[in-house]
A and B are shown apart, each in its own frame.
Chain A
Amino acid sequence: MTMHGTRVYPDEPAGSFPSPPVTFEDRDGRSIVVRPFESEEPRLDALTEMYVQFDPADRAQGIPPTGEKRVRDWLETICADGLNVAAWDDDSVIGHATLVPDVDDPAAVDDAGEIAWELAIFVLQEYQRAGIGTELLEALLGYASEQGVENVWLTVERWNSPAIALYERVGFEVCGAESFEQEMSIRLG
């Protein structure tokens, strides 16, 4: 593991990831497409709608926020500064993965590889356990890699073993001290 900023990252870059758009059939036979997310209307409305429908029991560490106004404010911030992909079933967003720059002033960043990025992923309840999370995560990392992103980290609740297993499968490794949240990181080539 190698230090970058305040975290350690795996020495070896993770394997190559597909560039979105990625189309696949999920385990329940639904045709899903993952595309880079452009935040203009009406797409932002479709993404907001997904989070409005999101089961509050599946929130983690306070996100997504609840209530349409707070969801929209949160999305506007992460869409303005971050890299995003969304999974679509027809014209509904059913999954979203995002990378947010880990800096005080995102506007001042001119090399995506110089900074660290925080990752999060959400899949709507009725689309969970269908293989969508893996596709979404790989598409986000493929997209990020094209944009020059190298260092990605995340936190996950320590008891959330399905999520930890998913992150490990794509190449994330445990880093940093354990607390209620487990920190994990990945290096992209």
Chain B
Amino acid sequence: MNVLLGIEGSDESMKTLRSTIERTSDVGDELTVAVVEKPEAKRSQAEMCEHAETLLAEAGVDAELTMLEGDPGSALVEFAERGEFDQLVIGGGTESPMGKIRLGPITEFVLLNAPTTVKLVR
């Protein structure tokens, strides 16, 4: 399967990155990692790229790594449309102090606009 993983700089994205790399090496998918811009995130876009590079190298997974400029949701969906991807993988939300699952605006945009199957990682 040809998988596109979309991440920004949050802990949620770090978890999704780790889990997707593990899955990729288990099943031998083709993987492209797209890092989007989210200025309010904990890690910058460049830092997140470095993390992805390191984790991919450690796992011995050969993946394409790209940085996308502009509005994160629409940049990701547009990139997914241009490629031949079977699945778009993104983080599955965060939990509030109460334990409520929260999906942010990027997730909502991707779910409502992506032409591919979307996978949310919990």
Contacts and interface: CB of A to CB of B under 8 A. Distances in A.
Interface of B: 95-105, 107-108
Interface stretch (A43-51, A60-68, A129-137, A138-146): A60-68
Contact of B97 (A61, A65, A100, A177): A100
28 contacts: A61-B100, A61-B102, A62-B95, A62-B99, A62-B100, A62-B101, A63-B98, A63-B99, A78-B99, A100-B97, A100-B98, A101-B97, A102-B97, A103-B97, A118-B96, A118-B97, A118-B98, A120-B98, A120-B100, A155-B96, A155-B102, A179-B104, A179-B107, A179-B108, A180-B103, A181-B100, A181-B102, A181-B103
Contacts of B101: 61-62
Interface of A: 60-63, 65, 74, 77-78, 98, 100-103, 118, 120, 155, 177, 179-181
Contacts of B104: 179
A98 B105 contact: no
Nearest to A106: B97
A157 to B, nearest CB: 10
A179 B98 contact: no
A60 B100 CA distance: 8
Nearest to B100: A61
Given A155-B100, A179-B107, 15 more contacts: A60-B100, A61-B96, A61-B101, A61-B102, A62-B99, A63-B98, A78-B99, A102-B96, A102-B97, A120-B98, A120-B100, A179-B108, A180-B103, A181-B102, A181-B103
